[in-house]
Structure 1
């Protein structure tokens, strides 16, 4: 929160270990804006440069950036939001939160309404939907998109060439045909675990379905709709073209290790996983490529689950103007592009995608992010994931059970979980 310090003082950024520029002489007192950012979201070099430029542009403000761990962050943020203004002077004025975490903080009533600021000149019309939608409650914007990451197809260029595949697929039907042609000489056309429900979600959204919908303030599971069932049917066809286990997700075993084994042509993952693959199998250096998850038609990529971060401002801040200034700077085209290039992220706006066009994996992510979505915007969704009925549903259908029967059962469980308030 805001602290008063002499003009000649220097408030250091905890991560950067460097002080901002402070005008000399007996100038006005400076206010400190405390910012909580998550570990590894931004590099030390980026934060050094941002802090120096921000403090130069805002002569009455100093930044105190405090790096947080993801483990246990939910409880820590909730505690900070619940603290009254008088007791919160050492707490955060700006907080980075996961995009799907915003609804739970909104429900607690501890976030500042940033609708007017975001509508004014922050590029709201171009925000990635997968970041913007979870930060919004009806027409009120609480979470401001910062950066995104999402799944793409990582593929073996050499195996595509050996199979005579001259171009990456642009549609889902092409993807099935190409994948089938890659099942040669002991190779798997694709490794897709049976419980990769994030990837399934994209296929459901492509068909016009959803995992759950709200009606009159009540949420209900919708895996049993015709659209959602069509999404699962495509997943079933694609998954059958490889040897992925039907009763496990992409981390059991870790698909990076499976891909590194050298007999898999494709996986669906964030581009950064390619580094782990090459570390385990250096022979794959230079052989990996990336393309967006194909959609039903060639005019645009398929929908994907969008992960990433939003920036929020606690309602109990006593440095409102300074906090808004920090958010405005971080989400600006200049700094958002800088962050994306530095960290291999997708920028927060579709219009900034050209800034990462030179990096194949990030460019593929950015193309998919334009069609991105997030999980249902309700704080109770965490209860669904805690005992995930979608995974069990997928395994049952891939093992031969009736899709409609299993979809109704899973939808009922989702509805029940969403009716139980967290806390």
Structure 2
């Protein structure tokens, strides 16, 4: 029977620093042996959890179970190949963090253990959907994060611009900055397609939709065009070329510290990177991406990670015990608190209380509003270079006919997404 994903939550980097911890880990991303009767091997991604939280959790677990927990820190670069190898071998790793967009692919290969006994916990529904396929739970939600608008308070005050609560007010603020300062009102790359996805979701659309047992691209629609038109309106206030994305050049370290940028859309780690690059002298404010009306924030690309147990774990029962403890109400609350409230909680019985005026406050405000890209094994093919959505964006920004460009993009998306 073909597995169909109920919904999706995708991955993005977190802001918290994670140092190497656990027995024998030097932070190099080594792939040592999995657990035995007296040990457990856990892979966590670089930047996913504060060291004090990991250390305290493992001390509690080791004291209760009389075992050693070996946490090995993995880098995001090349992680899919390392996970594929680990899941094909006996006892390499017991518990692993997996980006939400990756979960369905590994579950479909049979690499992840059935965790349905943990289904009846008060999980965040968006996060739960990314870990569940055909009512079978293959991972457990761990954390979420999303983008917000980051702005230079001094430039906005100089211009007399006000923090917006709607799309129209957002455009008015950018016009005010343009007319009253020499600053670039907003830096928005031509190909920030996750941002575009939020605008399309605001219109009720998506990148692709299910078509029977398959998927098909859905950009050549009124919703897709309306989302692109608003993106183009914002991008007209930017000096960015139409053919670059947010990764190249890196907006947080290459653009913002070297230019007179009044605002940009970014993640928490990007805001921190810009502050560091500016020598700690930045005076940033933050607000959620505005929606079409004041009572509805704009959709944002939701990010995060799941925790899963290797189907071929050396100690599957111990792995389940560690995962259940790490995602329990007690330790999930400690995880959120250790991050200063700067993550979207994985459970409804956990609360985030970020500092007023912080990035985290703006991010958490958008936690319940998000667009979810199609989560199928074939979605990775769509995101591969050259990404047809990015090519559509550049073509549209360069004045090409939207319908023609979107039709070509949809055809490519349909071909790629159905190729596993």
In our comparison, the structure showing a higher alpha carbon Rg is: 1
Do 1:171 and 1:296's aligned partners in 2 also have CA atoms closer than 8 Å?
yes
* Distance (whole Å) between structure 2 residues aligned to residue 138 and residue 240 of structure 1: 43
Partner residue in 1 for 2:395 = 396
1:262-277 to structure 2, matched below 5 A, reads: 262-277=259-274
Displacement of 1:157 after TM fit? 1.0
Do 2:25 and 2:70's aligned partners in 1 also have CA atoms closer than 8 Å?
no
Do 1:155 and 1:288's aligned partners in 2 also have CA atoms closer than 8 Å?
yes
Is the aligned partner of 1:196 residue 2:192? Answer: yes
* Distance (whole Å) between structure 1 residues aligned to residue 318 and residue 294 of structure 2: 45
Partner residue in 2 for 1:409 = 408
In the superposition, relative to structure 1, how do residues 378 and 172 fare at CA in structure 2: closer, same or farther (>3 Å)? same
In the superposition, relative to structure 1, how do residues 373 and 312 fare at CA in structure 2: closer, same or farther (>3 Å)? farther
| Deviation by residue 1:273-325 (Cα, 9 ceiling, x = unmatched) | 2222233333743x101111112222232111122211011222353332222
Partner residue in 2 for 1:235 = 231
Displacement of 1:353 after TM fit? 4.5
Is the aligned partner of 1:32 residue 2:39? Answer: yes
Partner residue in 2 for 1:114 = 115
The count of residues paired between Structure 1 and Structure 2 equals 387
Q: 101-110 vs 273-282, which deviates more?
A: 273-282
* Distance (whole Å) between structure 2 residues aligned to residue 180 and residue 371 of structure 1: 27
* Distance (whole Å) between structure 2 residues aligned to residue 151 and residue 252 of structure 1: 18
Displacement of 1:133 after TM fit? 2.8
1:5-154 to structure 2, matched below 5 A, reads: 13-15=23-25, 31-56=38-63, 58-83=64-89, 88-89=90-91, 91-119=92-120, 121=121, 123-124=122-123, 126-127=124-125, 129=126, 131-154=127-150
Do 2:37 and 2:315's aligned partners in 1 also have CA atoms closer than 8 Å?
no
Give the aligned CA root-mean-square deviation in angstroms. Answer: 2.4
Partner residue in 2 for 1:307 = 303
| Deviation by residue 1:60-115 (Cα, 9 ceiling, x = unmatched) | 544222222223221222222223xxxx23x2221111111111101101211223
- Of 156, 164, 168, the residue aligned with 1:169 is 164
List structure 1 runs of 4+ shifted beyond 6 angstroms. none
- Of 170, 173, 178, the residue aligned with 1:178 is 173
* Distance (whole Å) between structure 2 residues aligned to residue 363 and residue 346 of structure 1: 10
Local SS of the residue matching 1:272 = helix
Do 2:286 and 2:357's aligned partners in 1 also have CA atoms closer than 8 Å?
no
* Distance (whole Å) between structure 2 residues aligned to residue 333 and residue 358 of structure 1: 24
Partner residue in 2 for 1:379 = 377
Partner residue in 1 for 2:7 = none
Partner residue in 2 for 1:259 = 256
In the superposition, relative to structure 1, how do residues 115 and 361 fare at CA in structure 2: closer, same or farther (>3 Å)? same
Local SS of the residue matching 2:65 = coil
Stretches of structure 1 lacking an aligned partner (at least 5 in a row): 1-10, 18-28
Partner residue in 2 for 1:20 = none
Displacement of 1:413 after TM fit? 0.6
1:261-410 to structure 2, matched below 5 A, reads: 261-282=258-279, 284-285=281-282, 287-343=283-339, 344-349=342-347, 352-358=350-356, 360-386=358-384, 387-410=386-409
In the superposition, relative to structure 1, how do residues 214 and 255 fare at CA in structure 2: closer, same or farther (>3 Å)? same
| Deviation by residue 1:108-130 (Cα, 9 ceiling, x = unmatched) | 012112233122x3x12x34x1x
> With structure 1 as the length reference, what TM-score do the two structures score?
0.85
Stretches of structure 2 lacking an aligned partner (at least 5 in a row): 1-20, 28-35
Do 1:212 and 1:219's aligned partners in 2 also have CA atoms closer than 8 Å?
yes
* Distance (whole Å) between structure 1 residues aligned to residue 191 and residue 337 of structure 2: 32
